[in-house]
Chain A
Amino acid sequence: MIPELGHFALILALLLALVQAVFPMYGAARGDATLMSLARPAAYGSLVLIASAFLAQAYAFASNDFSVLNVASHSNSKLPLEYRLAATWGSHEGSLLLWTLMLSGWMAAVARFSRHLPLAMVARVLSVMGMVAIGFLLFMLVTSNPFERLLPAAPEGRDLNPLLQDPGMVFHPPMLYMGYVGFSVAFAFALAALLGGRLDATWARWSRPWTTLAWCFLTAGIALGSVWAYYELGWGGWWFWDPVENASFMPWLAGTALIHSLAVTEKRGAFRSWTVLLAIIAFSLSLLGTFLVRSGVLTSVHAFATDPARGVFILAFLAVVIGGSLALYASRAGAVGLGGSFAPVSREALLLGNNVLLVVALAAVLLGTLYPLFIDALGLGKLSVGPPYFEAVFYPLMAPVIFLMGLGPMARWKQSSALELWRQTRLSLGVAVFGAMVVPWLMGRWSPLVASGLLLAFWVIATSLSGLFDRLARGAPSGFLGRLKQQPLSWWGMQLGHMGVAVFIIGVALVKAYEVEKDLRMAPGDTTSIGAYQFRLVDLREGRGPNFKSVIGRMEVWEGERLQAVLRPEKRNYDSSGMPMTEAAIQRSLSRDLYVSLGDPIGEHAWGVRIYVKPFVNWIWGGCVIMALGGLLAIFDRRYRLRAKAANAAATTTIAPEARV
């Protein structure tokens, strides 16, 4: 009964989404306030209905209702409750339900926190989001119904993929999807602005906090996925340039370009059409990401779904969304106007340069990800495009991005001079070069690769600090504290975000250059040493989990006389699937990870053991967390909380005088 109620709620949600998509849009075109004001209650209603459907699905999983096909194929009565709940979004159908739930959540949030926006704008934004909701609800109901029954019921479920039975998989997909779906808000604002013909700084100001929030979620979601791959897959990598990873990385790159372009549009009224285009691209790539992972087009770790009918639907959906929005863009963008003027050396120009580079890097990732599919589809043979390609193409494109990242915040809006920039940054450059020379040497081995990575990271840190010093040492209110307080939160957010990038780069460079890996044959009692660490395998024991058997090793790690860690790497064998899983044991610290994973038994007593010492690897994810926190800080800037009139007035004065030069 409960699954049927969930199913019914989805059907009602589809009907409500139709109402939300059609009437407010029509009302906005006609100036009919009654029709426009349908948008908000419809958005709230959608949230209630889709949340009910989601709860019904979660209930089916929690109560082991194996008469629901989705539950029978992705859960098992022996699965612990937290993973049964996470299994709600572990499958293709469930992840779509989660997607739609998040979409309705974002819709309700827009409805709730947009009271200061003109009604027509809200109506159009919610209407566009309603159209997206129609697509997903229809997709679910037609091709991938999570409530489909299996009669007679299966006596036992087939179990969740053991790779997904992990806390990382409980949090990673919701975070990632919050990001993907969040870009639908930026997309909806962009389309609403195009439709309403009001593409100015006000629009950018309204759209900016939403976009930044989505970007924060996406950053955190990608980082969580990377952490998960690092400890769960057992071979210690954190990024594989796997198509599915790329699928989430591409919207991130577009989103990063978008939040910077929005900054210019808000501050200076420039780049308007470019910003709109980026918003369309970011959301299109989010949809493409969903499509790539969920259609079975790719064969990779994450692609669980294999059903061409679904692929055709999403492809058609993609064509409608991308084609439709680009057509609208093409018909309206010409009327947008150029916005404020700026000189070839100015903050605008630097940001535009960075945007171009980011988009080219994004295109490179897209090309590398889809190229094997094209070649295959054209019958030209099979091809692999892997890490060596992306490293060869992506890194050289990103290096200038990072360089400009240090320069941009130093430059003045409108007009700056190269000489002035040089004067402002030469000290930072000197510090960065010195650091890049010395630090690798202190770490024990100098190589051009690690030096160039560190050079970029130190450059960003040095310019950030020097910008900070400039702001706090000089300026209008006297006193250090007064100036400290006067800096807007969004400025602190930018500083923090850029610092996060630097921390991330340091982690990447150091772990790549100085990690040590050993593949050993170890019996209880055997030892090995890596650097200052002695590893000793004490014993191996049999263990038993709720739904698996395992062998658990005990490895002591000594540094001189001090016991640093006792690591318990585990090799699991899941009852239902018989799939062996390696659970690596890791002792984390700021400066290094000690990482041990069990391979296969060799002979009677010995096991293959893989040991890594990974210096500074946690800086990679730490950097991502700092980036996301920077974004959050920027969202809380007080200017976004200004009420209707104040916000409008401020935004107009920001661009009006200069924009019409």
Chain B
Amino acid sequence: MKMPYFLLLLVGLPLGAAIAEVATPLAADPVMEERLKALGQDLRCLVCQNQSLADSNAPLAEDLRQVIREQFRLGKNDDQVRGFLVERYGDFVLYKPPLKGSTLPLWLGPFALLALGLGVLVVLLRKRGHKQPLAPTPDAKAQERARKLLDQDP
């Protein structure tokens, strides 16, 4: 700690506090906490309005985090913990809905739409190309005008 001593006098702290201590992590086991955080980002705090388990300060979220820590200590991996939570609270607890019958439209919808959109686009471009052949070489005057228009394009 490179704090100048006089500053400590200025802030008027009792001398005991001036002996700087390195702050301890809030959690007992920082490695496990990292794991909990990563997992908790994708879990819903069940009593919050819309907040992940990792971010929430609600007492119930802390209880649930405690439950997960227990599970970790039992040697369960992330998937097993997720499974355990889903068993207790249902899919609602997962921010990433599992792929199954009722979520098929959710997961496939965007990509089906993309395929559809691109398909229509390709067909449209081809049709336009056939139906309206591009103009043969325009005369010099038209070309000049086109060039001017292009120059002012955004």
Contacts and interface: CB of A to CB of B under 8 A. Distances in A.
Question: Most B CB atoms within 10 A — which of A299, A360, A375, A634?
Answer: A360
A651 to B, nearest CB: 11
A454 B91 CA distance: 35
B117 A359 contact: yes
A393 B93 contact: no
A381 B102 contact: yes
B57 interface: yes
B143 to A, nearest CB: 11
B17 A561 contact: no
Interface in B139-154: 142, 145-146, 149-154
B151 A521 contact: no
A331 B50 CA distance: 42
Interface in B78-120: 90-97, 102-103, 105-107, 109-110, 113-114, 117-118, 120
Interface string A351-386: 011001101110110011001000100001111111
Interface residues of B, number: 66
B21 to A, nearest CB: 5
B110 A393 contact: yes
B74 interface: no
Interface of A is mostly: mixed
A389 B50 contact: no
Interface in A142-165: none
Contacts of A363: 109-110, 113
Contacts of A653: 145
A263 B154 contact: yes
A521 B41 CA distance: 21
B9 interface: no
Given A300-B49, A388-B42, A538-B13, A528 B154 contact: no
B128 A342 contact: yes
Interface in A434-476: 475-476
A367 B33 contact: no
A263 B152 CA distance: 13
Given A242-B50, A386-B44, A539 B145 contact: no
Interface string B38-55: 000110100001111001
B153 A520 contact: no
A415 interface: yes
A380 B18 CA distance: 60
Contacts of A118: none
Interface string A265-295: 0010000000000000000000000000000
A338 B17 CA distance: 77
Interface residues of A, number: 89
B116 to A, nearest CB: 9
Interface in B1-28: 1-3, 11, 13, 16-27
Given A240-B50, A386-B42, A657-B145, A524 B17 contact: yes
B55 A237 contact: yes
27 contacts: A240-B50, A343-B129, A343-B134, A352-B125, A356-B118, A357-B117, A359-B117, A360-B114, A367-B109, A381-B92, A382-B92, A384-B93, A384-B95, A392-B96, A393-B107, A393-B110, A491-B154, A519-B33, A520-B24, A523-B17, A525-B16, A525-B21, A527-B1, A538-B13, A554-B11, A556-B3, A602-B26
Interface of A: 235, 237, 240, 242-243, 263, 267, 299-301, 303, 338, 341-344, 349, 352-353, 356-357, 359-361, 363-364, 367-368, 371, 375, 380-389, 392-393, 397, 412-415, 475-476, 486, 488, 490-491, 493-494, 518-528, 534, 536-539, 554, 556, 558, 560-561, 599-600, 602, 608-609, 634, 637, 639, 653-654, 657-658, 661
- Top 8 nearest A-B pairs (CB, nearest first) are A386-B95, A388-B96, A364-B110, A525-B17, A490-B154, A341-B132, A526-B23, A382-B92
